[in-house]
Chains A and B, each alone.
Chain A
Amino acid sequence: MSIRRLPEHLVNRIAAGEVVERPASALKELVENAIDAGATRIAIALGDGGISRIEVIDDGCGMTPADMALSLERHATSKLPDDAIELVETLGFRGEALPSIASVARLTMESRIRGADGWSRTIDNGRLEGEGPAALPPGTRIRVEGLFDKVPARRKFLRSERSEYAACLDMVKRLAMARPDIGFTVEHDGRRALAVAPGESRAERVAALTDRALAENSVGIDYQRGGVRLGGVAGLPTFNRGIADHQFLFVNGRPVRDRLLVGAVRGAYQDLLARDRHPVVALFIDLPGTEVDVNVHPAKSEVRFRDSGLVRGLIVGGLRAALDEAGHRSAQRPSVAALGNWQAERPAAPAAVGGPAFRASAPSGSNWAPARPKGDLFRDQHLSFDSAPAARAEPATAPIPEAVRHPLGVARGQVAATYIVAETEDGLILVDQHAAHERLVLERMRRALADGGVARQALLLPEVVELDEPACDRLEARIPELAEMGLELERFGPHAVLVRATPALLGADDVKALVVDLADDLAAHDAALSLRERLDHVAATMACHGSVRAGRILSVSEMNALLREMEVTPHSGQCNHGRPTWVKLASADIEKLFGRK
């Protein structure tokens, strides 16, 4: 078999395989071009999930007819003016996208620079079909039709229209999140799917693209370390999700997926969230172009950091600092559904006060049943005797405090011996006493641990744990860090590590399982999460046993002391599992319940 050079159209198709694998990736390339062209508004129209039609219209700088012809050649780009591949500042730079797309679809490109006439050029699966003048406003309009129509092998691997559309939308959301200064619209089969106005703030844009409620339940991040800047928004721990789909990382305005992010976010939210809950974050890292290599992946969805430890530390530190500042604030307002339940007028049967925020207080619901207009006096009295003991209030002697000094207000009573009712200047606060106190005890314990260091119990018979060689290398690199947490390791030949001491707090735990977990953590997240998690778990269990239980009756001064301590303790807004420790019913909400507003 002799070796031959492949024909041009085949080369283009092979290149297309790297860059364009599905409509979403073609769309990504086109939108990135529009962004790089300096557009302020980008309109996207999709047909059948992008399979039959993708149209991207921008108001950017446009191209001359000669440039248009050249842009469809391979490795032709306007984006590396001085050939500085190490200092890429635009989203694209490879000069591959347009010819790749043009080789697997019918591509119509119309463009006009300001002060000149428009021009149109159509390429059908790599062959020029026609060109001529076109009428359009300044900017570029690109239409891709029948993607992979002539490449059945690839066409077969496309998913359903719906999931291709979802991938396209996700891609646009990521790009739109990175550039709040640009307006984006997406139409799918003639229906408006997304519209964001240009010139929004970062927080507004992130909230608009994820969840409107995020705006109220997040903290801003602005953190700098060693020439690297971290910005963005971090959702409060109580605002969590079941899957980690709302975690976004942008490096120099480029959306990337990086496993570093997953580990760093988990590390930062550790012990604020249950393990199976995930926070919502959008992080923007800005660092000098020399510190990051974007030319790793043809679709540029991965980047490589020169100092990934620094970036990781930055993310954990930045998130922690922002969450610490949030302090006790980490709580959600009662959800609309919960408020709705309050409004519903129920007959005499116990009115279940459901909804996520109030679910736990359901047994006391009957106390809130409205007086029935037709009930006779005797029966009413009987009823009120029945339901009396569930709630307890003491005469309000203390005046309502200034909201500034006491954000959690002054205790007014206790419901079901479980929830503290407090009054603030602008509303009513319900506190879950056990969850709140548990958190306070844990925070106290963690401070003590941080001061005292972790005691290590040396092993009489050092345990040999056999692992593969890279895992041992990773553990070996972290020996000093692990020793600080009480785990003393030693390298024991190429395929094993020797455990000399374990954290005394863990008792006679399964050492082997711990070390294997740690090695997995280091491989997956580049951080020794499970050791700290285990220590925290012990601390959390101790905190749980050492705290005030639900069902214990508290005096007003005890309740007030608890509220004051919550105000000054960081992270007191959620329990150890990410559930809120308190909820607020603002005066406005109460007024709504009575139809006053």
Chain B
Amino acid sequence: MKATIERATLLKSLSHVQSVVERRNTIPILSNVLIEAAADGTLKLMATDLDLQIVETVEAQVETAGATTVSAHTLFDIARKLPEGSQVSLSAAEGKMQVIAGRARFNLQTLPRDDFPVIAEGELPTKFELSAAILRQIIDKTRFAISTEETRYYLNGIFLHVSDEAQPVLKAAATDGHRLARVTVPRPDGAAGMPDVIVPRKCVGELRKLLDEVDGSVEVSLSATKVRFGLGSAILTSKLIDGTFPDYSRVIPIANDKLLKIDPKSFMEGVDRVATIASEKTRAVKMALERDKITLSVTSPENGTAAEEVPGDYDSDGFEIGFNARYLLDILGQIEGDTVEVHLADAAAPTLIRENDTAPALYVLMPMRV
């Protein structure tokens, strides 16, 4: 194999590819990136952790077609430190790959390409297109609620499913058992009859990074066990979480009768301010609701107390409720408009937060009993 590629192009695609590669691997070849030069002038870079696989195709001048694998992190570090604008020549022979750029020369150990594992996609019967903007929105508004707790593995991802309501919709939900985030978007063409899937957290993270560089639409193809995202030059394939996402719709309260309308920005700033004195682990913020007056307060036995009044529209009976400040901030940070609706019932019941009843995103937060 022998090919020459511009350093910037190589660096950009390697940066996508190397983040899939885990830092530590028990199978040596998983640390490597597969480089495949085709005679038609393309270079294919591929990396995997056996659950997630990325393939990126870039243009290059190919002299001899061929393929090899080298350490992804090492090659990325080399590309990063090469002089800007330089042409990088990659040539592989006899178990080594030579990287030459300007006057720098590297000889890297390789592993045979035939050992490189490839995820068998199988049949992906459901295919639809989703605009990158909508996909970005889905991820941004739900990923903070993804659980990191490995024992409830079925919560370690974003749950995607379609539903026929007044209009056919695609719903994305994530929860960690304390809060829930859900985004509803119109169902794209071709998504009808799609199986319910859970997209794992790592795939979500990589996808979100790639989405920053995509403007148009993303091709999504999936089966019950695999999903593939086609983003122009990059293709991301992931296994799905094999589990049943809990029936979250029954935890979304529908009869919360106390409505608070408040400016999310001042609300968020207020919460953030009073939470300063909360002990770092608990971060409980108490919210006292009275007619058109909301008082946020924190009492820490070590540090003292803090209180702040935030203006808001509220005309039900007054009561007090506690929340984890971090959870509140996570949710409020996703609200873009000027007002947010907080639907409350009592100090122990789940609370519904959304911008308004037409907003795609909806959040449910469990209170904290202080």
Query: Which residues of B sit under 8 angstroms from A445, Cβ to Cβ?
Result: 302
Of the stretches A224-232, A278-286, A423-431, A455-463, the one at the interface is A455-463
Contact of A508 among B147, B284, B300 (CB under 8 A): B147
CA distance A451 to B180 in the complex (A): 32
Contact pattern, A 553-575, Cβ under 8 Å of B = 1, otherwise 0: 00000000000000000000000
Which residues of A (507-532) have their CB < 8 Å from a CB of B? 507-513
Q: Which of B148, B251, B299, B350 is the one whose CB lies under 8 Å from A452?
A: B299
Q: Is the CB of A504 within 8 A of B324?
A: yes
With A508-B148, A508-B177, A538-B281 in contact, do A457 and B324 touch (Cβ < 8 Å)?
A: yes
A455 touches B368 (CB 8 A): yes
Q: Which of A448, A451, A456, A510 contacts B368 (CB 8 A)?
A: A456
Chain A residues in 8 Å Cβ range of B300: 448, 452
A301 CA to B25 CA, complexed, in Å: 55
Q: Are A460 and B151 in contact (CB under 8 A)?
A: no
Does the CB pair B175–A458 fall under 8 Å? no
| Nearest CB in chain A: distance from B124 CB, A | 30
B149 at interface (Cβ–Cβ under 8 A)? Answer: yes
Q: Considering the chains assembled together, what is the distance between the CA atoms of A538 and B300 in angstroms?
A: 17
Q: Annotate B268-310 by CB proximity to A: 1 below 8 A, 0 otherwise.
A: 0000000000011110100000000000000111100000000
B180 cross-chain contacts in A, Cβ below 8 A: 460
Whether B301 and A448, one on each chain, are in contact in the complex, defined by CB atoms closer than 8 angstroms, is yes
Knowing A448-B302, A512-B151 touch, does A460 contact B281 (C-beta < 8 A)? no
Within 8 A of B (CB), among A24-41: none
Which residues of B are found within 8 Å of A507, using beta-carbon distances?
Answer: 281
Contact residue range for chain A? 20 to 34
Q: In the docked arrangement, what's the CA distance between A445 and B282, Å? A: 13
A348 within 8 A of B: no
B364 at the interface (CB under 8 A from A): yes
Question: Cβ of A588: which chain B residues have Cβ within 8 Å of it?
Answer: none
Cβ of B106 < 8 Å from any Cβ of A?
no
Interface flag for A534 (CB, 8 Å): no
**Interface residue tally for chain B (C-beta within 8 Å):** 33
Establish whether residues A461 and B301, one from each chain, have CB atoms under 8 Å apart when the complex forms: no
Known contacts: A448-B301, A449-B301. The answer to whether A458 contacts B369 by CB under 8 A is yes
Binary B-proximity of A477-515 (CB < 8 A = 1, otherwise 0):
000000000000000000000000100110111111100
A452 to B299, CA, bound (A): 9
> A513 vs B179: C-alpha distance in the bound complex, in angstroms?
21
Residues of A within 8 A of B175 (CB): 460-461
B301 pairs with A456, CB closer than 8 A: no
Chain A 541-555 interface residues, beta-carbon cutoff 8 Å to B: 542
Interface of B is mostly: loop
Asked if A510 and B301 sit within 8 Å, CB to CB, the answer is no
User: Nearest residue in B to A452 (C-beta to C-beta)?
Assistant: B301
Residues of A within 8 A of B299 (CB): 452
CB-defined contacts of A456 to chain B, threshold 8 Å: 368-369
User: Is A392 at the interface (CB under 8 A from chain B)?
Assistant: no
Q: B302 to A455, Cβ gap below 8 A?
A: no
Min distance, Cβ B247 to any Cβ of chain A, angstroms: 9
* In the complex with contacts A455-B369, A504-B368, A538-B281, A461-B149 CB distance below 8 A: no
CB distance from A548 to the nearest CB of B (A): 17
Name the B residues within 8 Å of A508 (CB-CB).
147-149, 176-178
Interfacial residues of chain B within 163-194, with CB under 8 A of chain A in the complex: 175-180
Does chain A have a CB within 8 A of B200? no
CB distance from B274 to the nearest CB of A (A): 15
* Cross-interface CB contact of B149 among A448, A458, A510, cutoff 8 Å: A510
Which residues of A, 452-475, contact B by the 8 Å Cβ criterion?
452-453, 455-461, 463
Tell whether B348 is near chain A: CB-to-CB under 8 Å. yes
* Nearest residue, chain B, Cβ from A450: B301
A463: nearest chain-B partner, CB-CB: B177
Asked whether, in the complex, the Cβ of B284 is within 8 Å of the Cβ of A460, the reply is no
The complex places the Cα of A510 from the Cα of B367 at a distance, in Å, of 19
Q: Does B366 lie at the interface of the complex (its beta carbon under 8 Å from any beta carbon of A)?
A: yes
B369 touches A501 (CB 8 A): yes
Q: Chain A CB within 10 Å — which of B176, B282, B322, B370 has the most? A: B282
- Nearest neighbor of B350 in chain A, beta-carbon distance: A460
Give the chain A neighbours of B322 by CB distance below 8 A: 455
Whether A457 touches B302, Cβ cut-off 8 Å, given contacts A504-B284, A508-B149, is no
A275 adjacent to chain B (CB < 8 Å): no
Which residue of chain A has its CB nearest to the CB of B176?
A508
The answer to whether A444 has its CB under 8 Å from any CB of chain B is yes
Q: Output the least CB separation between A446 and chain B (Å).
A: 10
- State whether A460 touches B251 (Cβ < 8 A): yes
B280 & A542 in contact (Cβ 8 Å cutoff): yes
Known pairs A504-B284, A504-B324, A510-B149; A460 contacts B179 (CB<8 A): yes
Q: Does A455 lie within 8 Å of B284, measured CB to CB?
A: yes
What CA separation (Å) do A445 and B149 show in the bound complex?
27
Q: Which residues of A contact B251 (CB under 8 A)?
A: 460-461
Nearest-Cβ distance from residue A127 to partner chain B, whole angstroms? 67
Residues of B contacting A458 in the complex (Cβ-Cβ under 8 angstroms): 178, 348, 350, 366-369
**B176 to chain A: which residues have CB within 8 Å?**
508
Contacts of B281 in A (CB 8 A): 504-505, 507, 538, 542
Query: CA of A546 to CA of B176 in the docked complex: distance in angstroms?
Result: 28
Contact between chains at A460 and B147 (CB < 8 Å): no
The contact string, 1 if C-beta is below 8 Å from chain A, for chain B 78-100, is 00000000000000000000000
Name the distance in Å between B24's Cβ and chain A's nearest Cβ. 23
The interface residues of chain B lying within 8 Å CB-to-CB of A538 are 281
In whole Å, how far is B319's beta carbon from the nearest beta carbon of chain A? 16
Q: If A504-B284, A508-B177, A510-B149 touch, does A460 touch B370 (CB 8 Å cutoff)? A: no
Is B318 engaged at the interface, CB distance under 8 Å to the other chain? no
**Is residue B246 within 8 Å, beta carbon to beta carbon, of the partner chain?**
yes
A457-B324, A511-B177 known, 14 other contacts, Cβ within 8 Å: A444-B302, A455-B368, A455-B370, A456-B368, A456-B369, A457-B178, A457-B366, A458-B178, A458-B367, A458-B369, A460-B179, A460-B364, A504-B281, A504-B284
Q: List 28 A-B contacts (CB under 8 A).
A: A448-B279, A448-B300, A448-B301, A449-B301, A451-B301, A452-B300, A453-B370, A455-B322, A456-B369, A457-B368, A458-B178, A458-B350, A458-B366, A458-B368, A460-B178, A460-B180, A460-B364, A461-B177, A461-B246, A504-B281, A504-B282, A508-B178, A509-B149, A510-B149, A510-B151, A511-B177, A513-B151, A542-B281
Closest 3 CB pairs of A and B: A448-B301, A458-B366, A456-B369
